Amino acid sequence: MIAPTPTVYSVSQLNSYVKGVLDRDESLAHIFVTGEISNYKPHYSGHLYMTVKDEAASVKAVMFAGNASKLRFRPENGMKILAFGTVSLFPRDGSYQLYINDMQPDGVGALNIAFEQLKKKLEAEGLFKSEHKKPLPEFPRRVGVVTSATGAAVQDIFNVLKRRYPVAEVVLRPCQVQGEGVAEDIAKAIYEFNALKGADVLIVGRGGGSIEDLWAFNEEVVARAVFASEIPVISAVGHETDYTICDFVADLRAPTPSAAAECAVPDCYELKSNLIALKQRLFSTTRNKIDLERGRLTAIEKSGALKDPVSKINDNRKELLYLSEKLYGSVNNQLDSNKLKLSALAGKLDALSPLNVISRGYALVEKDEKPVTSVKALAVGENILIKLSDGIVKADVIEIGE
């Protein structure tokens, strides 16, 4: 028997043939693969490149931008996933790989992971810090509401606002709270209120639901809009046990939409009660003050000064005369005492005065306006001044003898 002539393939033909074999295999066209992500490399184009591995083997994988943009979470190295896609061969390098159409975290929901990832990111940026929280106005004139116009939440908010504080104007900016493009619409509504300065406080929220129903309030675009709002924002999403990213960024988190309305405005009945109490306190304080002053006035009316003012004046005149005489006597005694002291000091001064000595026939010799007390202080030819009791004599020193 003659052996068949073997077919000779080029490398390109071989890779194309193998690719065709893989592409025709129905079990490889729609396959689920579980494993751990490694060598994760997001491309600027939006494509995601990675390796999916287990304890014994690995396979290269790629997720193109169109599918990657729909992911609710951000893949990371070491994350266990369940991937759905197609196995095919890349002819250029002859290696087969997994083309991922969709994937989910294995064991933990994608939304839960996305929630924690965004929460961690925004918290690191400081969007949750208390110093960024704005105080709510005490008496808002206009309350803005961002929610669905047809849901139960908006009716609850309107009913509470009307009951508690009917003087406030309520402005509704209706928007969808579930579905595609919802997060962008909610963020746009917040920006519109700020651009128009359309409210003093904002209530942003919706009624309860699953994590998927509430997901728009976990989107980064909503969180950024709430943080950038100059108008204080109250987040009112779901029920008391529901928490969203919007709750952490908002200036105040309310457990329900009804509770948000109660936080947004004061209770007019409570205000009225407080005003009545203040009025009563003011009336009581004023009445006590009047009674006190009336008592003081009565005491003054009964005083002697008003009953007999002339007698009071005479008494004061006598007291003034007595004090005047006492002051006059004290001053005179002080003057006499000071005169005696002055006389004694004058006598001492006179006894020590050189003029007194000169008057008895002595003279005072001075040189350069200073007394001369010794001949050693003089020299022949110097000018001296001799002071006598009735005049002075200028002289020159002719001779000095000790």
pLDDT tens by residue, 228-244: 999 999 999 888 777 88
Q: Please list, in sequence order, all residues whose beta carbon lies within 8 angstroms of the beta carbon of residue 57, skipping any fewer than 6 positions away.
A: none
Q: Is 267 exposed, middle or buried (0-12, 13-18, 19+ CB in 10 A)?
A: middle
pLDDT of residue 358: 65
pLDDT band of 314, cuts 50, 70, 90: confident
Based on C-alpha coordinates, what's the Rg of the chain?
A: 54
pTM of this structure? 0.53
pLDDT of residue 385: 84
Q: 102 φ, ψ to 5°?
A: -155, 155
pLDDT band of 3, cuts 50, 70, 90: low
Residue 383 bridge partners (DSSP): 396
pLDDT band of 355, cuts 50, 70, 90: low
The pair of three-digit structure tokens given for residue 339, joined into one six-digit string: 């005169």
Of 12-21, 242-251, 308-317, the range with the highest mean pLDDT is 242-251
Q: Which fold has domain 138-266?
A: Rossmann fold (3.40.50)
Determine the 3-state secondary structure of 256 from DSSP. coil
pLDDT band of 133, cuts 50, 70, 90: very high
Homologous superfamily of 11-108? Nucleic acid-binding proteins (2.40.50.140)
Q: What is the DSSP letter of 339?
A: H
Residue 372 or residue 150, greater confidence: 150
pLDDT of residue 305: 66
Q: Domain ranges in the chain?
A: 11-108, 138-266, 307-347, 356-396
Q: Return the amino acid letter for 109.
A: G
Long-range CB pairs of 254-258 (<8 Å, 24+ gap) are 254/203, 254/205, 256/156, 257/147, 257/153, 257/154, 257/156, 257/157, 257/203, 257/205, 257/206, 257/207, 258/156, 258/157, 258/159, 258/160
For strands 233-237 and 201-206, give the pairing: parallel
